[in-house]
């Protein structure tokens, strides 16, 4: 093995550079991973545009990382060299904070974000904390597993932890990178599924992915359309701003909830009367635990859920990122390291 590896880093906001970095040994609680595939996620923009606290440059982005463990830290237990693993956005919990001690690993107070506070997967090698690792089943390729580690885990975990039960009406607002997986998971989990997107283009695709109904938000009133179907127990708002979330609230049945997954700071305007008299909820969901990650990958294999993927080699990371940001990718882009 050469003592350096290839990586694509962000040198300063919006500027990518392909570099060779010196190979590092993992710390006691870390593993070194030989990366095979890394998804390009919209949240990478937080790194590329320098939006999150604790971010310093240069930084290697990428938090949908799949590879094989190449070296183990001295204190790591439960993982083996050669094992194929995934790393998502949450870089691994600390085990000792108030939240960890209560079993709430997602909200660990000492958890770094992969590709934000430490280098991520736009690279041939990466170092990861063992507490953040996800097990990749043998019958799932690294390319196919990559987008499931963020886009998949986020939608799967949000639906699994929601109040919706089999047979309930569940709407997926936005059939894009997250939503095209959300529709598949919702259908396989036994919900009556409504896909919502702007225009008629995604209607046929949504049905193919498993939606029972399609609502075109550019021509129909989303709230009325959902109420005509009986009202949704859960609306997963995947890429939408505050206005879309507010519109979706009107489509809930009493006791229903909108789960907002869109990373936007646009405020959500809502009537306190609705929250009170209809007992509506607005929630957010930040990916999920490593164990939910394991479940996401297993569920995807046994239920035939797959992301629609375009692949590009690592050296075209800047182009891949630009294509993802343009909204033209169908629907996830995965970087390959060969
Ligand atoms: Zn913690
Ligand atoms: Zn992501």
271 Cα to the center of ligand 1, angstroms: 35
**pLDDT-above-70 percentage for the chain:** 99
Q: Which ligand is nearest to the CA of 40?
A: 2
Beta bridge partners of residue 310, listed in sequence order: 333
Asked if 220 contacts 247 with a C-beta cutoff of 8 angstroms, the reply is no
Q: Which ligand is nearest to the CA of 87?
A: 2
Alpha helices in 102-170 (DSSP H): 142-145, 151-160
Per-residue pLDDT, 278: 93
Q: What is the pLDDT of residues 210-234, one digit of tens each?
A: 999 999 999 999 999 999 999 999 9
202 Cα to the center of ligand 1, angstroms: 41
- pLDDT range class, residue 89, cuts 50, 70, 90: very high
Measured between alpha carbons, how far is 93 from 129 in angstroms, rounded to an integer? 8
288 Cα to the center of ligand 1, angstroms: 14
- pLDDT range class, residue 57, cuts 50, 70, 90: very high
Q: Which ligand is nearest to the CA of 93?
A: 1
107 Cα to the center of ligand 1, angstroms: 7
Q: What is the pLDDT of residues 149-161, one digit of tens each?
A: 999 999 999 999 9
- pLDDT range class, residue 136, cuts 50, 70, 90: very high
161-165, 216-220, 239-243, 333-337: segment of lowest average pLDDT: 239-243
Measured between alpha carbons, how far is 86 from 198 in angstroms, rounded to an integer? 33
263 compared with 129, residue with greater pLDDT: 129
Packing angle, helices 179-188 and 151-160, rounded to 10: 40
Does the pLDDT of residue 240 top 70, yes or no? no
- pLDDT range class, residue 274, cuts 50, 70, 90: confident
CA atoms 166, 167, 173, 174: torsion sign: positive
Measured between alpha carbons, how far is 265 from 245 in angstroms, rounded to an integer? 12
63 Cα to the center of ligand 2, angstroms: 6
Per-residue pLDDT, 48: 96
Q: What average pLDDT does the structure give for the chain?
A: 95
Strands (E), 73-191: 84-87, 125-129, 133-135, 169-173
Strands (E), 120-164: 125-129, 133-135
Q: Which ligand is nearest to the CA of 263?
A: 2
Per-residue pLDDT, 159: 98
| CA 171 to chain centroid | 18
Does the pLDDT of residue 1 top 60, yes or no? no
Let me know the angle formed at the C-alpha of 122 by 118 and 127, rounded to the nearest 5 degrees.
40
294 Cα to the center of ligand 1, angstroms: 20
* Overall average pLDDT of the 268-296 stretch: 92
Q: Which ligand is nearest to the CA of 99?
A: 1
Measured between alpha carbons, how far is 7 from 59 in angstroms, rounded to an integer? 10
- pLDDT range class, residue 245, cuts 50, 70, 90: confident
Measured between alpha carbons, how far is 100 from 329 in angstroms, rounded to an integer? 37
182 Cα to the center of ligand 2, angstroms: 14
29 Cα to the center of ligand 1, angstroms: 14
Residues 225-230: contacts with CB within 8 Å, 24+ apart?
Answer: 225/194, 225/196, 225/251, 226/169, 226/171, 226/194, 226/250, 226/251, 226/252, 227/251, 229/169, 229/192, 229/194, 230/169
Measured between alpha carbons, how far is 46 from 2 in angstroms, rounded to an integer? 31
Does the pLDDT of residue 303 top 70, yes or no? yes
Q: What is the pLDDT of residues 20-36, one digit of tens each?
A: 999 999 999 999 999 99
Q: Which ligand is nearest to the CA of 98?
A: 1
Per-residue pLDDT, 244: 83
Does the pLDDT of residue 2 top 80, yes or no? no
* Overall average pLDDT of the 313-319 stretch: 98
CA atoms 44, 48, 52, 56: torsion sign: positive
56 three-state secondary structure = coil
Closest CA to 111 of 89, 87, 93: 93
114 Cα to the center of ligand 1, angstroms: 15
* Overall average pLDDT of the 223-247 stretch: 91
* Overall average pLDDT of the 56-62 stretch: 97
Q: Which ligand is nearest to the CA of 131?
A: 1
* DSSP per position, 192-207: EEEEEESSSTTHHHHH
82 Cα to the center of ligand 1, angstroms: 28
Q: Which ligand is nearest to the CA of 88?
A: 2
Does the pLDDT of residue 67 top 70, yes or no? yes
Q: Which ligand is nearest to the CA of 155?
A: 2
**pLDDT-above-90 percentage for the chain:** 89
74 Cα to the center of ligand 1, angstroms: 21
* Overall average pLDDT of the 263-278 stretch: 86
* Overall average pLDDT of the 73-88 stretch: 98
25 Cα to the center of ligand 1, angstroms: 24
100 Cα to the center of ligand 2, angstroms: 22
Residue 128 token pair? 């990861």
Per-residue pLDDT, 316: 98
54 Cα to the center of ligand 1, angstroms: 17
Residue 7 token pair? 């990586």
Backbone phi, psi, residue 214, to 5°: -130, 135
41 Cα to the center of ligand 2, angstroms: 5
113 Cα to the center of ligand 1, angstroms: 13
Measured between alpha carbons, how far is 56 from 122 in angstroms, rounded to an integer? 16
Q: Which ligand is nearest to the CA of 150?
A: 2
Does the pLDDT of residue 263 top 60, yes or no? yes
92 Cα to the center of ligand 1, angstroms: 9
Q: DSSP state, 171?
A: E
């Amino acid at each position: 093995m050469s003592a350096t590896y290839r990586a694509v880093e962000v040198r300063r906001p919006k500027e990518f550079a392909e570099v060779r970095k010196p190979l590092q040994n993992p710390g006691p609680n870390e593993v070194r991973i030989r990366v095979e595939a890394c998804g390009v996620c919209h949240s990478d923009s937080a790194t590329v545009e320098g939006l999150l606290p604790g971010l310093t440059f240069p930084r290697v982005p990428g938090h949908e990382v799949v590879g094989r463990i190449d070296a183990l830290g001295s204190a790591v237990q439960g993982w083996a060299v050669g094992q194929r693993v995934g790393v998502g956005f949450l870089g691994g919990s600390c085990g000792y904070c108030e939240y960890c001690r209560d079993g709430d690993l997602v909200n660990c107070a000492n958890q770094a974000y992969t590709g934000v506070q430490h280098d991520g997967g736009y690279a041939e090698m990466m170092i990861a904390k063992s507490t953040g690792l996800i097990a990749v089943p043998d019958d799932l390729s690294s390319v196919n597993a990559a987008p499931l580690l963020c886009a998949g885990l986020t939608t799967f975990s949000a639906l699994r932890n929601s109040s919706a039960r089999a047979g309930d009406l569940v709407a997926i607002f936005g059939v894009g990178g997250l939503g095209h997986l959300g529709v598949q998971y919702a259908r396989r989990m036994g919900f009556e599924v409504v896909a919502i997107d702007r225009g008629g283009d995604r209607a046929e695709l949504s049905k193919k992915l498993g939606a029972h109904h399609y609502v075109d938000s550019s021509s129909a009133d989303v709230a009325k359309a959902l109420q005509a179907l009986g009202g949704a127990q859960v609306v997963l708002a995947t890429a939408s701003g505050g206005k879309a979330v507010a519109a979706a609230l009107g489509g809930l049945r009493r006791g229903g909830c909108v789960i907002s997954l869109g990373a936007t700071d646009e405020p959500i305007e809502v009537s306190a009367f609705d929250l009170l008299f209809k007992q509506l909820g607005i929630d957010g969901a930040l990916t999920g635990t490593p164990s939910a990650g394991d479940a996401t990958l297993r569920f995807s294999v046994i239920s035939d859920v797959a992301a629609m993927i375009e692949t590009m080699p690592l050296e075209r990371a800047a182009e891949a990122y630009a294509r993802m940001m343009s909204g033209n990718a169908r629907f996830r882009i995965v970087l390959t390291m060969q």
